[in-house]
Amino acid sequence: MILRRTLLVASTALAAATAMATPSSARPRASSRRHRGAELHLAPARDQVAALRNGTIKSRALLEQYLDHIARTNPGLNAVVTLDPERARAAADAADRHLARTGKVLGPLHGLPMTVKDALETEGLRTTCGSPDLKDHVPAQDADAVALLREAGAVIIGKTNVPVMCQDIQTDNPVFGKTANPFDSTKTAGGSSGGPAAAVAAGLTGLEVGSDLAGSLRLPAAYCGVYALRTSRGASPIVPTRGHIPRPPGWATSSDMITLGPIARTADDLDLLLDVLAAPAPADRSGWKIDLAAPARSSLSEYRVGIWADDAYCRVDADTRALLDQVAALVRKAGAEIDDTTRPVDFAASDTLFQRLMFATASATATDAAFAADIEAAAKIPDGDPSGLYLHSRTMRHRDWCLADEDRHKLRATWAGYFADHDILITPATPTAAVPDQSSTPLSQRYITVDGQKRSYYDQTSWLNLASPVGLPAVVLPVGTTDAGLPLAIQIIGPYLADRTVIAAAKELARRLPAPVRPPAFTA
């Protein structure tokens, strides 16, 4: 039984809760068939790693399964845009030889083939970030996160698609073209991690690393029916970001809000990749390490759960609201303490602060001429005029940025106070399921439709951006589908550095939910 919209509008909350609370082991699962050696690439990444460790399959054989699946399936998706098969084969062979010779694995991802978002620099492998200006850019050094993957034994197959310089929430660029949503080619895969999310959903890779400033990791995960974690960020991120474009190649710094995090088909696999990625930047490793706390609770019944199902600032559609009602019923039936009147912060004020800080940090890479033009244009717009938010934020003086940063720290304190009484907060991930692709529509003319009403194009990420300015960990997980078969998702936000808690909560929910439906390309 797959959770579809007909279940989401069940006649009573009790009926809905009973249907959703039935143990998933007692129901047919959309992808529950036993994975034989010939199709191990479709298994969870943890199963693949275990098979590589115990010799059930060799890294080279698993790599060839992936390459065959990519060759068959990727032309219809355009999720993987650059392949590196020969170096991948050499790395897989080296992993196999090492295990045969020593009996030891190279690391927690020993011999596991995987792709990497084309925003992360890869030594010797073209990294374009979808920009024509970088179409021939071949880095001499791995991004720090990619280096962590290789140190853990991963085999890098190739790169996945992004919008130009990661600056859109759908995925299309002049270098490689558009990535299709694997469930419906007329819908967007989201962005900027649209290629990574579509590749994971379609079985082209078991794991991916996405980046998230304004929902760029979680939005595609929600639209493509997979799991994703925005990792915690304070003064520094818990996953090093050097080598992520943008900033431009060669920069040592990155945005003060961007994070990197795992994308996977299961919550367990988020944990697997988080263990690899959560590490200090190389320059800091001699002085400190990252030791994330264990989950706050051991079972769903012990959690203190806030549920923010809807808000006048960013209304969700009927399907999404019904979904949140069912999730609330499920959590309540499990015995958890529920607060469904919770409003941790002022949504509008938080979103405005986020936009100001985002526009400010994005100005770092503007040319001198472009920035001078922005200053001139901003001076013509009165202070307080909403139409000037972008330009005033982009050109704010350092004093004004310091004041905005002070507001950010006060907002963090407000969230910390909320999480003194709550373990997690459940919210919508997006107002709707995946929206129509609008890559051929000028940005100023794009919009989304929510229950028949036109809404701002950027409302797609408003719920996701609750966590963004304050660096809170947030998981997106698939929990159902619409009648048309599009994935529906929710978001779980936790306190700063409680990354393992939000993953653990996602695991608890996943055990009580139908298995996520897989797109046709998954077994093509």
Q: Do residues 372 and 292 both lie within one domain?
A: no
For residue 312, being part of any structural domain is answered with no
- Residue 461 within a domain: no
pLDDT at 36: 67
Start-to-end CA span in the chain (Å) = 22
Of the candidates 336, 327, 252, the residue with the CA atom closest to the CA atom of residue 300: 336
pTM for this entry: 0.93
Local confidence band at 29 (pLDDT 50, 70, 90 cut-offs): very low
pLDDT of residue 34: 55
CB under 8 Å, gap of 24 or more: what pairs does 369-375 form?
371/395
Question: Distance between CA 358 and CA 352 in Å, rounded?
Answer: 10
User: Tens digits of per-residue pLDDT, 326-372?
Assistant: 999 999 999 999 999 989 999 999 999 999 999 999 999 999 999 99
- Tens digit of each residue's pLDDT (9 = 90 or more) over 481-518: 999 999 999 999 999 999 999 999 999 999 999 889 99
Angle between helices 267-277 and 45-54 (to 10 degrees): 70
Pairing of strands 337-339, 447-450: unpaired
328 within some domain: no
Residue 22 has pLDDT above 90, yes or no: no
Average pLDDT, the chain: 93
Indicate the pLDDT class of residue 33, thresholds 50, 70 and 90: very low
pLDDT tens profile 215-232: 999 999 999 999 999 999
pLDDT greater than 80 at residue 45: yes
Of the residues 360, 388, 405, the one at which a domain ends: 405
Cα radius of gyration rounded to whole Å, the chain: 22
Q: Is the same domain home to 380 and 236? A: no
Tokens of 411: 């907002």
**Does 159 reside within a domain?**
yes
Residues 254, 160 contacting (CB under 8 angstroms): no
Q: How many domains does the chain have?
A: 2
How far apart are the C-alpha atoms of 219 and 230, rounded to whole Å? 11
Q: Strand pairing partners for 160?
A: 80, 117
Q: Which class for 454: exposed (0-12), middle (13-18), buried (19 or more C-beta within 10 A)?
A: exposed
Cα separation, 306 vs 378, in Å, equals 40
Residue 326 parent element (H or E):
helix 318-333
Question: Do 389 and 484 have their domain in common?
Answer: no
- Shared domain check, 353 and 293: no
Residue 264 and residue 357 in one domain: no
Residues of the chain above pLDDT 90, percent: 89
Distance CA 205, CA 287 (A): 34
pLDDT category of residue 450 using cuts at 50, 70 and 90: very high
Residue 18: both structure tokens together: 């009973």
- Separation between Cα atoms, residue 399 and residue 426, nearest integer Å: 35
pLDDT over threshold 90, residue 456: yes
What's the pLDDT score for residue 524? 85
pLDDT tens digits for range 89-143: 999 999 999 999 999 999 999 999 999 999 999 999 999 999 999 999 999 999 9
pLDDT of residue 283: 84
Domain enclosing residue 189, as ranges: 5-300+475-523
CATH assignment at residue 181 = 3.90.1300.10
CA separation for the pair 121, 250 (Å, rounded): 10
Q: Which of 184, 158, 189, 150 is nearest to 173 (CA)?
A: 189
Mean pLDDT, to the nearest integer, of 387-407?
97
Average pLDDT over residues 387-405: 97
The answer to whether residue 164 is domain-embedded is yes
Q: 414 in a domain, yes or no?
A: no
Final residue belonging to a domain, choices 378, 405, 432: 405
**139-188 per-position pLDDT tens digit:** 999 999 999 999 999 999 999 999 999 999 999 999 999 999 999 999 99
Co-location of 361 and 484 in the same domain: no
Residue 486 belongs to a domain:
yes
248 and 142 housed in the same domain: yes
Dihedral angle over CA of 82, 83, 84, 89, nearest 10: 160
- Amino acid letter for position 26: A
- 367 and 506 both lie in a single domain: no
The predicted model gives 294-298 an average pLDDT of: 97
Question: 377 and 293 in one domain?
Answer: no
| Domain finish residue from 405, 430, 451 | 405
12/158 same-domain check: yes
Encode pLDDT of 238-262 as tens digits: 999 999 999 999 999 889 999 999 9
Are residue 358 and residue 253 in the same domain, yes or no?
A: no
Q: In this structure, are 392 and 504 located in the same domain?
A: no
Q: Of the given ranges (178-192, 259-273, 279-293), which has the lowest mean pLDDT?
A: 279-293
Query: CA-to-CA distance for 149 and 135, rounded, in angstroms?
Result: 24
- pLDDT score for 261: 98
Assigned domain for 282 exists: yes
Provide the pLDDT for residue 488. Answer: 98
